[in-house]
Amino acid sequence: MIVAIIVVAVKLLILFAVLMLFVAYGTLAERKVSGHIQDRLGPYHCGPHGLLQPLADGLKLFFKEDIVAAESDKILYYLAPMIAIVPAILAIGVIPFGESITLFGRKIDLVVTDINVALLYLLAVSSFSVYAIVFGGWSSNSKYPLLGGLRSAAQFISYELILGLSIMGVIMVVGSFSLVDIVHYQKSMWMVVYQPLAFIIYMIAATAELNRLPFDLPEAESELVGGYHTEYSSMKFAMFFLGEYANMTVTSAVAVCLFLGGWYSPVSFLSWIPGPIWFVVKLVAVFFFLLWLRWTYPRFRYDQLMVFSWKYLLPLALVNILATGGVMILFGGI
């Protein structure tokens, strides 16, 4: 019993550390990738090739003056940045990143906990992050954050729905909510082959969920100054910032598990490479895709975003579910 607890604790610690590493270097990757896309170098002065930039950023934000907006709703104002990062940390618990390994005679699953409703749990905790934005926007007692908060409430509700529907197809094919089962199912063939439409819808909805361009309306800099975090400074701002990259990491990880074969190697002759490495490679690829998208596209307008969601994505997601169901009935499963 005690050993089991220690094992879980160690796994949690490692995962948390890895997540934070991803978050820190995600911010650097963002700046480096954007730099190279835009014909410049990105950060270059802190350490070799700017590798220590995340540390410098963190230190800088830590020592910044912590300004509290006047007449703000103090409880919600302090709560919002905390909520921002929590969902991502909660979500890493159910993400499998490798096959079980045997260590000192014990079989250890490379997932903190394999619960049978992992996907439902994921959707539940990820919806939680909207509260950070809504609270932050509301409690700041300022009009730009308020507009950002309102936008995001509408955006999250619309795209959460589509995110859930896009995952439905995968659940129908596999017949399980467990991420471990879903990855096992993809041992020979990736889910993206069976569910290409669901993958595309998932990626679009996930980008919208993450407030990334072309869907970054809640924090649209050119319109709403900083959006919901306009009135936040110092570490409170840093929490929003970290939350964004933590959510990106988790969303990429979920995409890898659901559609890109999890920890399995794409070709059999490379299967000697350990699962976790494959997992990280795929994760980085999806992460890079998100960055790439951001630095290529202009931004949607608020109403266009809604139209896009309800008029195009929602019917498409439903069609995908119907088509999956039809094929399953006709051919008795995929």
Partner 1 sequence: MKTVAEHTERRTYTLNMGPQHPSTHGVLRVILELEGETIVDARPVVGYLHRGTEKLAESKTYQQVSPLIDRLDYLACPAYNFAYCLAVEKLLGVEVPPRAKYIRVILAELARIASHLIWLGSHAMDIGAVTVFLYTFREREITYELLEMAAGVRMHQSYFVVGGVRWDLPEGFIPKLREFLDILPSKIQEYENLLTKNKIWRMRTEGLGVLSREDAIALGATGPMLRGSGVEWDIRKAYPYSGYGEFEFDIPTGRNGDVYDRYLVRMEEMRQSRRIILQALEKLPDGPIHAMEGKLYFPDPDWVRGEHRDIAALIHQFKLVVEGFHPPKGEVYQSIEAPKGELGFYIVCDGSPKPYRLRIRLPSLMNLQTLPLLSRGHKVADLVAIIGTLDIVLGDVDK
- Measured from the CB atom, the residue of 298 and 332 that comes closer to partner 1 is 298
Nearer to partner 1, 181 or 223 (CB): 223
The smaller minimum CB distance to partner 1, of residues 282 and 294, is found at 294
For the CB of residue 302, give the shortest distance to partner 1 in the complex, in Å: 6
Is 203 a residue that touches partner 1 (CB under 8 A)?
Answer: no
**Closest distance of CB 252 from partner 1, Å:** 21
Q: Are 137 and 200 in contact (CB under 8 A)?
A: no
Q: Tell me: does residue 213 bind partner 1 (CB under 8 A).
A: yes
In this complex, which beta carbon is closest to partner 1, that of residue 154 or of residue 235? 154
Told to check if 271 binds partner 1 by CB under 8 A, we report no
- Which residues 150-169 are close enough to bind partner 1 by CB under 8 A? 151
Among 86, 89, 153, 225, binds partner 1 (CB under 8 A): 225
Q: Does 147 bind partner 1 (CB under 8 A)?
A: yes
Among 16, 234, 295, 306, binds partner 1 (CB under 8 A): 295
One residue of 49, 64, 184, 299 binding partner 1 per CB under 8 A: 299
Pick the binder of partner 1 from 13, 60, 288, 304 (CB under 8 A): 304
The least CB distance from residue 248 to partner 1, in Å, is 18
The 3-class SS string of the chain reads CHHHHHHHHHHHHHHHHHHHHHHHHHHHHHHHHHHHHCCCCCCCCCCHHHCCHHHHHHHHHHHCCCCCCCCCCHHHHHHHHHHHHHHHHHHHHHCCCEEEEEECCEEEEECCCCCCCHHHHHHHHHHCHHHHHHHHHHHCCCHHHHHHHHHHHHHHHHHHHHHHHHHHHHHHHHCCCCHHHHHHHCCCCCHHHHCHHHHHHHHHHHHHHCCCCCCCHHHCHHHHCCHHHCCCCHHHHHHHHHHHHHHHHHHHHHHHHHHCCCCCCCCHHHCCCCHHHHHHHHHHHHHHHHHHHHCCCCCCCHHHHHHHHHHHHHHHHHHHHHHHHHHHHHHCCC
Binding-site member from 296, 311, 315, 319 for partner 1 (CB under 8 A): 296
In the stretch 248-267, what mask flags binding to partner 1 with x, by CB under 8 A? --------------------
Regarding 306 and contact with partner 1 (CB under 8 A), the answer is: no
Under the rule (CB under 8 A), what is the footprint of partner 1?
34, 37-40, 143-144, 147, 151, 213-214, 216-217, 220-225, 295-304
